[in-house]
Chains A and B, each alone.
Chain A
Amino acid sequence: MAHEHKLEIFRGLLKFKSNTSKIWGVLVFLSVVTAIEVALGIAKPAVLTGNSFLGMKLLNWIFIILTLVKAYYIAWDFMHLRDEKTSLRRAIVWTPIFLVAYLVFILLFEADYVYNVYKDGFVKWNF
């Protein structure tokens, strides 16, 4: 299993000397991202909770984007997707992304509809 590893992250901005040092580098990056998430979750800056984009608070958008960033580095560097063939990587990554995006889209729309039925319809549930 003589793999050659691709050693640069951040689109070549940062290139490591060995695979081991790349692993530690990614760990530092993931820890920093987690620390930012927790700090934001505790501080809850009013700028981010007060404003929203597409019906969701900016803070929650930041959380979701940072989560996807973390997921990318876990999959690409820890699970070695960076070193796999492009065809394998695409098969593994895009299949769930497509299905999950579709599922989330229909479920959240439906939930919002149910919410409106409870709110504006003649359903008494808060008693």
Chain B
Amino acid sequence: MDSTVTSASEENVWGGGNKPLGASYGKLMMWFFLVSDALTFSGFLAAYGFSRFKFIETWPIADEVFTHVPFFHGNFPMYYVAFMTFILIMSSVTMVLAVDAGHNNKKNAVIWYMFLTIIGGAIFVGSQAWEWATFIKGDYGAVETKGGRILQFVNADTGERVALSEFAKTLPSERTGHQRKNGVWFYDEGFLPSYTVNEVMAGLKVNSDVVIRTEQINEEGEKTVLDHAASLEKLKDGVLVVEGANLVRNEYGSRLFADFFFFITGFHGFHVFSGVVINIIIFFNVILGTYERRGHYEMVEKVGLYWHFVDLVWVFVFTFFYLV
């Protein structure tokens, strides 16, 4: 190693040992990884923008989709996502404090701040799991047309969403879910919606206060609501009842919306998860005194960079997925 170290007085630039960027190898590599990861996320968000601009007049409105808060009933657009954002920023702060304590070689402070960071990350991942579950389950249900457009139902007077179960009739029908034991071949039917299109149609005919809301966004930035006669006409195009969301179809609107939701928040959630795992590893290393013996806490700083990056990405996901 001696032969590669240059002293400050030596003029040999290419002899090695120079630090033109004033950062250690590990830190630089972490930064370069983060730059490339930032480009991956940008690719996803740009693709989201592409699909959204392509269907700019029919794209779902996010604050009509994400309206739930755990343990509370009602319509609370954005509140829970704002809470998640705050949790992540907060855990970013405890991470910076851990790095700062590391610079001052305060082992116990680093342990506590790392612990709080891990808790924050766990709350965030849990919240995201809950958000996914709510999104997949859906709440009102909708009808999909031949062309793959989504028809939702609202109250004609109040404009509030109406669930299928509130107006659809139950017609006698022999259609039951195909189960594995009944088939010649060993596959079963995934999921049969609670109602058929005919039942929704029959319900719509007798409930004159229920009307259809199409995907089309009007001049005021709201979804177009049809009158009752037009709703009945429009429902004739319906072929499928959609409840909840998966990668193929969803009750919120454009199919791509759910795809991007799963993909972008999923990729981000995976980053948070791996960040929590790495934080736990470093946490135990700190407790065991690894960095105390090494003489510096730069490793904490490096995982800190990764953790802040996850927060940084969430800031963008929050804006482009939930706000804009």
Contact = CB atoms under 8 A, between A and B. Distances in A.
Contacts of B308: 74-75, 78-79
A78 B117 CA distance: 14
A23 B103 CA distance: 14
Nearest to B309: A79
Nearest to B322: A41
Contacts of B50: 107-108, 110-111
Given A1-B298, A84-B22, A95-B35, A30 B89 contact: yes
B319 A64 contact: yes
A20 B160 CA distance: 48
Contacts of A112: 53
Interface string B96-111: 1101101100000000
B290 to A, nearest CB: 15
A67 B54 contact: no
A1 B51 contact: no
Contacts of B112: none
B38 to A, nearest CB: 5
Give the interface SS of chain B, mostly helix, strand, loop or mixed.
helix
B315 A74 contact: yes
Contacts of A42: 63, 77-78
A27 B51 CA distance: 34
Given A49-B221, A79-B305, A114-B54, A100 B46 contact: yes
Interface in B6-59: 20-23, 28, 31, 34-35, 38-39, 42-43, 46-47, 49-58
Contacts of B149: 126-127
A34 B316 contact: no
Contacts of B20: 87
Interface residues of A, number: 56
A63 B319 contact: yes
Nearest to B214: A126
A34 B147 contact: no
Give the interface SS of chain A, mostly helix, strand, loop or mixed.
helix
A121 to B, nearest CB: 13
Contacts of B93: 23-24, 27, 78
Interface residues of B, number: 66
Contact of B82 (A23, A38, A77): A38
Contact of B86 (A31, A104, A119, A125): A31
Contact of B21 (A1, A27, A79, A85): A85
B23 A88 contact: yes
A47 to B, nearest CB: 13
B78 A38 contact: yes
**Most A-side CB within 10 Å, residue of B20, B82, B102, B145:** B82
Contact of A74 (B145, B146, B311): B311
Interface string A88-127: 1001100110011001100110111011001100001111
A8 interface: no
B192 interface: no
Contacts of B309: 79
Given A34-B89, A88-B31, A110-B50, A103 B43 contact: yes
Interface of A: 1-3, 19-20, 23-24, 27, 30-31, 34-35, 37-38, 41-42, 49, 57, 60, 63-64, 66-67, 70-71, 74-75, 77-80, 84-85, 87-88, 91-92, 95-96, 99-100, 103-104, 107-108, 110-112, 114-115, 118-119, 124-127
Closest 5 CB pairs of A and B: A111-B53, A127-B147, A67-B319, A88-B21, A38-B82
Given A84-B21, A96-B42, 5 more contacts: A27-B90, A88-B22, A103-B42, A107-B46, A127-B237
Interface of B: 20-23, 28, 31, 34-35, 38-39, 42-43, 46-47, 49-58, 63, 77-79, 82, 85-86, 89-90, 92-93, 95-97, 99-100, 102-103, 145-147, 149, 216, 221, 237, 296-298, 301, 304-305, 308-309, 311-312, 315-316, 318-319, 322-324
8 contacts: A35-B82, A42-B63, A64-B324, A71-B316, A96-B42, A107-B46, A126-B147, A127-B145
